[in-house]
């Protein structure tokens, strides 16, 4: 059984590949970009070489008991805050693993958008199906 780190790293690689295939752009990984006042570097999962498109990847799933992973939702909100700190005109996104709740079939990305739509702004929430490699825009436009 793979560790959480190995699972996350594998998803990160798959997300990069899917995004590059989808957009025709190349993405650098773990890119430090200054954010905040005073500016301090924050490592973002993905950025184009010109840093006009910047994003994060999250390989989160529903809990074993089919509940929302509240700590992970908090991490998603934190990622949103960092993305919103980037310079105006930067296209931002979060790509999430497609994982559906057993009791009603709602994906975690759909759930996050439904409960936090007021926080998203122009940040796209994308969902990646690991089995098919297909990306779906849950909120905002596809990059």
The gap from C-alpha 51 to its chain's centroid, in whole angstroms, comes to: 16
Q: What is the Cα–Cα distance from 29 to 101, expressed in whole angstroms?
A: 30
Structural contact between residues 59 and 75, judged by C-beta atoms closer than 8 angstroms:
no
Q: How far apart are the first and last CA of the chain?
A: 33
CATH topology of domain 4-139: Trna Endonuclease; Chain: A, domain 1 (3.40.1350)
Return averaged pLDDT per consecutive 10 residues of the chain, 143 residues in all.
84 97 96 94 98 97 96 97 96 98 97 97 97 96 84
Q: What is the Cα–Cα distance from 72 to 85, expressed in whole angstroms?
A: 20
pLDDT value for 105: 97
pLDDT digits (tens, 9 = 90+) for 107-130: 999 999 999 999 999 999 999 999
* pTM of the predicted protein model: 0.95
Going from N- to C-terminal start, the domains of the chain cover 4-139
Q: Is the dihedral of CA 28, 97, 81, 91 positive or negative?
A: positive
């Amino acid at each position: 059984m793979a560790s959480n780190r190995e699972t996350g790293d594998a998803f990160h690689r798959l997300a990069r590949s899917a995004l590059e295939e989808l957009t025709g752009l190349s993405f650098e990984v773990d890119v430090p970009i200054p954010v905040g006042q005073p500016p301090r570097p924050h490592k973002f999962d993905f950025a184009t070489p010109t840093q006009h498109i910047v994003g994060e990847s999250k390989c989160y799933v529903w809990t074993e008991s089919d509940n929302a992973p509240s700590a992970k939702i908090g991490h998603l909100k934190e990622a949103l805050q960092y993305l919103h700190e980037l310079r105006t005109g930067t296209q931002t996104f979060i790509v999430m693993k497609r994982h559906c709740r057993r009791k009603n079939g709602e994906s975690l990305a759909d759930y996050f958008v439904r409960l936090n739509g007021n926080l998203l702004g122009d940040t796209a929430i994308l969902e990646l199906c690991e089995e098919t490699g297909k990306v779906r825009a849950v909120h905002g436009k596809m990059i």
